[in-house]
Chains A and B, each alone.
Chain A
Amino acid sequence: MLQVQNIEKYYGSKNNVTKALDRVSFDVEAGEFLAIMGASGSGKTTLLNCISTIDTISAGEILLDGVSIAGLSEGELAKFRRERLGFVFQDFNLLDTLTIEENIGLALSLNHQDPGTVQNRVREVAGKLGITDVLTKFPYQVSGGQKQRTAVARAMVAGQSLLLADEPTGALDSKASKNLLEIMTAMNRGLGATILMVTHDAYSASYAKRVLFLKDGRVFNELLRGERGRPVFYHEILDVLAALGGDVSDVI
Chain B
Amino acid sequence: MFWPRWGVMSVTLSELSLRNAKRQARDYLVYFVTVVMAAALLYSFNGLVFSQEIITLSKGISVLPLMIVLASVVVVCVFGWLVAYATRFMLLRRGRELGLYLLIGLENRQLARLFFLENLAVGGCALVLGTALGGLLYQAFRAIVLALFGQPYAFSFGFSLPALGLTVLYFALIYLFALRRSRKYIRRANIHDLIYVDRANEGMVIQTGTVRRWMFSFSIVLGVAGTCLLMAGGAILGVIGAGCVIAFLFGFFLSFASGVPAFFDRRPARKYRGQSLLVFRTLTAKLATMGVLMATISMIFTATLISEGSGLVFRGLFAGRAAESACFDLYIGAAGDGPVSRDYFDFIQDNISVERELHYCVYQAEDSRVMDYVERMGEDYHRYFDRDPVLRYSDYAALRAIAGYPPVELKPGEYLIHCRAYLEKHLTGYTQPISLGGASLIPGGVHAEHLLQNYDTGNGARYILVVPDEAAEGLPVFHHAYAAKTAQPVAESQFDLLCDINYRLGEQNLLEPSYDEIHTRASEKAEEAAQTVLVVFPLFYLALALTMTAATILTIQQLSETERYRQQFQLLQKLGMDRREMAKALGRQFTIYYVLPAVPPVLIGIPFILHLSRAPEPGVMVGMNSPGAIAAISLGIFFLIYAIYILLAYTSLRRNVLPQ
Contact = CB atoms under 8 A, between A and B. Distances in A.
B624 interface: no
A116 B8 contact: yes
Nearest to B13: A109
B20 A97 contact: yes
A142 interface: no
Interface in A194-219: none
Interface in B17-62: 19-20, 22-23
Given A53-B191, A54-B191, A107 B105 contact: yes
A106 B6 CA distance: 9
B107 interface: yes
Contact of A95 (B16, B107, B192): B16
B207 interface: no
A111 B97 contact: no
B8 A52 contact: no
Contact of A115 (B7, B99, B106, B110): B7
A105 interface: yes
Nearest to B22: A97
Nearest to A46: B192
A139 to B, nearest CB: 12
Contacts of A119: 6, 8-9
B6 A78 contact: no
B104 interface: yes
Interface string B92-105: 00001101101111
Contacts of B13: 109
Nearest to A112: B4
A245 to B, nearest CB: 27
A102 B103 contact: no
Interface stretch (A22-30, A79-87, A176-184, A233-241): A79-87
Interface in A53-94: 53-56, 74-75, 78-79, 81-83, 85, 87, 93
Interface string A101-126: 11001111111111110110010000
A53 B23 CA distance: 29
B101 to A, nearest CB: 8
A188 interface: no
B102 A81 contact: yes
Nearest to A118: B6
B23 A82 contact: no
Contacts of B7: 115
Interface in B188-242: 190-192, 195
B5 interface: yes
A110 B105 contact: yes
A63 to B, nearest CB: 20
Contacts of A102: 9, 11
A109 B23 contact: no
A96 interface: yes
Interface in B67-112: 96-97, 99-100, 102-110
Given A113-B6, A118-B9, A78 B192 contact: no
Interface residues of A, number: 38
A115 B102 contact: no
Contacts of B108: 74
A98 B22 CA distance: 12
Contacts of A154: 104
Interface string A36-56: 000000000000010011111
A7 B192 CA distance: 18
A110 B9 CA distance: 14
B573 to A, nearest CB: 21
A81 B103 contact: yes
A87 B100 CA distance: 10
Residue among B8, B20, B195 with max Cβ neighbours from chain A (10 Å): B8
Contact of A49 (B105, B110, B192): B192
A101 B6 contact: no
A110 B7 CA distance: 13
A79 to B, nearest CB: 7
A91 B106 CA distance: 21
B6 A79 contact: no
A97 B14 CA distance: 13
Nearest to A77: B107
Nearest to B105: A82
B23 A105 contact: no
B111 to A, nearest CB: 10
Contacts of A118: 6, 8-9
Nearest to A83: B105
Given A78-B107, A81-B103, A98 B8 contact: no
Contact of B96 (A75, A81, A85, A93): A93
A98 B192 contact: no
B97 A78 contact: no
B192 A97 contact: no
Given A49-B192, A55-B192, A82 B8 contact: no
Contacts of A78: 102, 105-107, 110
Interface string A141-183: 0000000000000100000000000000000000000000000
A97 B103 contact: no
B11 A52 contact: no
Which has the most chain A C-beta neighbours within 10 Å: B9, B106, B190, B195?
Answer: B9
Nearest to A101: B9
A56 B190 CA distance: 9
Nearest to B12: A109
Nearest to A107: B104
Contacts of B8: 115-116, 118-119
Contacts of A96: 23
Contact of B5 (A49, A95, A109): A109
Contacts of B104: 81-82, 87, 106-107, 110, 154
B6 A105 contact: yes
Nearest to A50: B192
A107 B105 CA distance: 7
Contacts of B19: 97-98
A116 B7 CA distance: 8
A109 B110 CA distance: 14
A111 B13 CA distance: 13
A97 B105 contact: no
A105 B5 CA distance: 10
A74 B107 contact: yes
B107 A75 contact: yes
A3 B108 CA distance: 26
A95 B191 contact: no
Contacts of A116: 8
A52 B106 contact: no
Nearest to A117: B6
Given A78-B102, A122-B9, 20 more contacts: A54-B99, A55-B190, A55-B191, A74-B107, A78-B105, A78-B110, A82-B104, A93-B96, A95-B97, A102-B11, A105-B9, A106-B11, A106-B16, A106-B104, A107-B105, A109-B11, A109-B13, A110-B4, A115-B9, A154-B104
15 contacts: A54-B190, A55-B191, A56-B190, A78-B106, A78-B110, A87-B104, A95-B16, A95-B97, A97-B19, A97-B23, A98-B11, A109-B12, A109-B13, A110-B4, A110-B105
Q: Which 6 A-B pairs have the closest CB atoms?
A: A82-B105, A97-B19, A115-B6, A118-B6, A78-B107, A109-B4
